[in-house]
Structure 1
Amino acid sequence: MNSDLKAQLRELNMTAAKKIKVGDGRKAIIIFVPLPQLKSFQKIQVRLVRELEKKFSGKHVVFIAQRSILPKPTRKSCTKNKQKRPRSSTLTAVHDAILEDLVFPSEIVGKRIRVILDGSRLIKVHLEKAQQNTRLKHCLVSTRRQSQAKMWFLNSQSSSCKVQNDIIKNIPC
């Protein structure tokens, strides 16, 4: 690893890492980072992902910020919590932020949600053409599994938040 990259990594922390199976027998590694340090990770993410993918051959590496979902306030919970729930901690906002983290080098230009008769959702995300890179196209196969693993991770951390696994179904270009 580059000495410049090592110096920058000494200041940063990682909260968790998870290895998941992706279709076609491949595997992916999700690295969870603290939310305040996400911008620092994104500055070196391209170089760091390249180095980590060399080290773990055949595995995609993705960085996602560790976020928490606060439950929707009810009559009973309003008396306990005097503060209003922030918009950044809602279920929808956290899922949108996870999607932004998954496709980080490029930006999301548009999003279409198609609800199928059985109640599941198909989310089509349109990325900016100028910023699309070849690595992202190869990783799109594994994003469905990664987002489901993130939803599972959120479920296992907090018993009060009930996250559905079918929120992010598919992320094609």
Structure 2
Amino acid sequence: MFTGRKLHKTSGDVTDFEKQVATALFDIEESGSEIGVVMKKLYITSVKTFSFEGAARKAALVYVPFPLLNLFKEISERLVTELEKKFPEYQFVIIGARKIMAAPSRAAGNTTVLRPRSRTLTTVHEAILDDLVHPYHVTGKRTHFKSNGTNSMEIFLDNGHRAEAEARLDTYTRVYRRLTGKNIQFNFQ
């Protein structure tokens, strides 16, 4: 049970659930399966759990370093399946660890330093949405502005994976709301 290689947490204490997930990832790596070979190069940065009122299962967000996100996406379907076998009370989602940078202000005196477009609030929120629904593809987005000043987004997913995706849509909606504060609903096209 060598979990230090699978969990690289930079701040805060390591929780018991993070240790359990890291141990499960290590076990998957040592299993000798096809994804175990890829897992030798990969590690996670943290795991957050959410429980929602009225939901049958809890959500577990596995944060991975952004440079390793594409490798995780290659094996994400099989990895999520293996993790959900080991922890049946959770639905797992793999998300890249991204940071939002504040816009440069004149008060700070840094008017020449520009932030990358990938670190803006809008771009990070769109990337979180893409990570949440992976491997399903977003085919369209529509924003509804209501007369009371609120708005909600309607996200259209590819109709080809409807059967697999429907079981997870409630979790996706609630997790996205918790992470970004935005209301979304899913439909299929």
Superposition TM-score tier, normalisation by shorter sequence: 0.7 to 0.9
Structure 1 residues 57 and 104 mapped into 2: Cα distance closer, same or farther (>3 Å)? same
Q: CA deviation at 1:106?
A: 1.6
Aligned counterpart, 1:75: 106
- Asked if 1:148 corresponds to 2:177, the answer is yes
Of residues 123, 128, 138, the one that matches 1:93 is: 123
Structure 1 residues 18 and 135 mapped into 2: Cα distance closer, same or farther (>3 Å)? farther
- Asked if 1:54 corresponds to 2:85, the answer is yes
The within-5 A match list for 1:32-43 is: 32-43=63-74
> Any stretches of 5+ residues in structure 1 without a counterpart?
152-164
Q: CA deviation at 1:115?
A: 1.9
Contact 2:105–2:111 under 8 Å retained in 1 = no
- Asked if 1:120 corresponds to 2:134, the answer is no
TM value normalised by structure 2: 0.75
Hey, what's the Cα distance between the residues in 2 that align with 1:76 and 1:67? 26
Hey, what's the Cα distance between the residues in 1 that align with 2:96 and 2:111? 25
Aligned counterpart, 1:10: 40
Aligned counterpart, 2:20: none
The aligned length equals: 156
Hey, what's the Cα distance between the residues in 1 that align with 2:68 and 2:162? 24
The structure with the greater share of residues assigned to helix is 1
RCO (CA 8 Å, sep 6+): is it higher in 1 or 2?
1
TM value normalised by structure 1: 0.82
Instruction: Give per-residue Cα distances to partners, 1:137-167, cap 9 Å, x unaligned.
Output: 111101122123434xxxxxxxxxxxxx2x2
Structure 1 residues 118 and 72 mapped into 2: Cα distance closer, same or farther (>3 Å)? farther
Instruction: Give per-residue Cα distances to partners, 1:40-96, cap 9 Å, x unaligned.
Output: 00000010011111111132110010101111222213x236321111111100000
Hey, what's the Cα distance between the residues in 2 that align with 1:16 and 1:133? 30
Contact 1:20–1:145 under 8 Å retained in 2 = no
Of residues 15, 27, 49, the one that matches 1:19 is: 49
Highest Rg: 1 or 2? Answer: 2
Root-mean-square deviation over aligned CA pairs? 1.7
Contact 1:49–1:62 under 8 Å retained in 2 = yes
Aligned counterpart, 1:84: 114
- Aligned partner of residue 166 in structure 2, secondary structure: helix
